[in-house]
A = this chain, B = another copy of it.
Amino acid sequence: MATSEAHRGSAAEQNAAEQNAAEQNAAERDAAALDAADELRALRDRFVLDDTVYLDGNSLGALPRAVPGRLADVIAREWGELRIRSWTESGWWTAPERVGDLVAPLLGAAPGQVVVGDSTSVNLFKALVGAVRLAGDDRDEIVVDAASFPTDGYIAGSAARLTGRALRAVPAAAIPATVGPRTAAVLVNHVDYRTGELLDLPGLTAAAHAAGALAVWDLCHSAGALPVDLDRHGVDLAVGCTYKYLNGGPGAPAFLYVRAAHQERFDSPLPGWNAHAEPFAMAPAFTPADGVTRGRVGTPDILSLLALEAALGVWDGVDLAAVRAKSLALTDFFLDRVAVHVRPGAAELVTPVEHRRRGGQIALRCADAAAVMDRLIARGVVGDFRPPDLLRFGFAPLYTSFADAERAARELGRALSEAAAHP
């Protein structure tokens, strides 16, 4: 009987294993079919990739193939041979605006409104102080989304302190009821860096405007992941980084968007010589340059800026609507596969399921999240861990495949099981 039971058990296990294998084969066929039908699949060749499933493009984008050769030329020829002549002959001086105009279409911005340089934090400081000054002296508060990426809150606090304004941090949902005649500016992150929730840019911008306030958006987690449409929605100022979905490289320079209508009155708190109307006149008095150039500060960081310029070539001919469609399809597929591979209760979905509330990343909450992510990375799937308990998976549609999503879900299930078995 024991033998018989063992035999029956073994047969059941075998059945289950066969069923799993069949199911797995079906899933892999599904992924392969989705990849075959993916109109963006050829873009993957524009990147340097390997066997790793890289789902951290929401933190540091993969290396575009064009970058190493371009940077080698910038260093050896433009710097090494032409040296100082490159400021004019190699177009270094105008790179902040030129690269800005490459970023602009990805933000839904007409040319002449985006300048690239400095970090996101520094640009946020320019944008917030600039917004407060545009709003006028009778508006004495800055409202920020309380769930913002921390630097946004810290910098907003400094901008408020230096301009004599109050800082009010409220949940994003409370912003429409919070803004009023005292509000100078509202700062919101387009996508929550932890949960991956996509905030309502048109609605919150309209709410700020209805109160007579300016809307300032942090696009770090949306630029390159989905259409942003800054011009269409009347956003006043925006900032964002270029090293996530824009693949500009580690710490690549950030961007600042100043709506054309505001540029003439935009009054930067960092009026460096690059923002001057005649920078080489070396005049003692500051006269701001026309246009978005007045958002520049000091000498532009050429190596990083030109690496970014080369990296932005991957967007040639890419339709952002297709990027968004693939992003949602990828994350939908990933969630379906997670439901199959991850046993119920092992991880909780933190990202909203509704498309209109989802950015380009999926966040899951689980026990021992740091250890689970370590195991997952050891299994060749790279996401990241955010304290205290979040696993984040960024799906960069230009180089992430449905097969990647399938493998990630499968390995996640294994990593969670391992971690539960060996806590």
Contacts and interface: CB of A to CB of B under 8 A. Distances in A.
A86 interface: yes
Interface centre among A71, A119, A276, A300 (most CB of B within 10 A): A119
Given A249-B303, A304-B301, A154 B84 contact: no
Please tell me the size bucket of the interface on A.
Answer: 35 or more
Given A75-B71, A76-B68, A121-B297, A157 B303 contact: no
Interface string A143-160: 000100111011101100
Interface in A245-288: 249-254, 268-276, 280-284, 286
A303 B60 contact: no
A327 interface: no
Contacts of A50: 81
A122 interface: yes
A107 B286 CA distance: 30
Interface of A: 48, 50, 54, 56, 59-60, 62-63, 67-68, 71-72, 75-76, 78-81, 83-87, 92, 118-122, 125, 129, 146, 149-151, 153-155, 157-158, 162-163, 169, 194, 241, 243, 249-254, 268-276, 280-284, 286, 297-305, 307, 382, 384, 386-387
A83 B118 contact: no
A346 to B, nearest CB: 24
A300 B60 CA distance: 13
Contact of A284 (B86, B155, B169, B194): B169
A121 B151 contact: no
B302 A303 contact: no
Contact of A387 (B62, B118, B280): B280
B122 A282 contact: no
11 contacts: A50-B81, A60-B79, A60-B87, A63-B80, A84-B382, A92-B250, A92-B251, A121-B274, A150-B276, A251-B302, A251-B303
User: How many copies of the shown chain assemble into the complex?
Assistant: 2
A367 to B, nearest CB: 19
A264 B284 CA distance: 34
Contacts of A81: 48, 50
Interface centre among A63, A194, A268, A299 (most CB of B within 10 A): A299
Nearest to A78: B250
A146 to B, nearest CB: 7
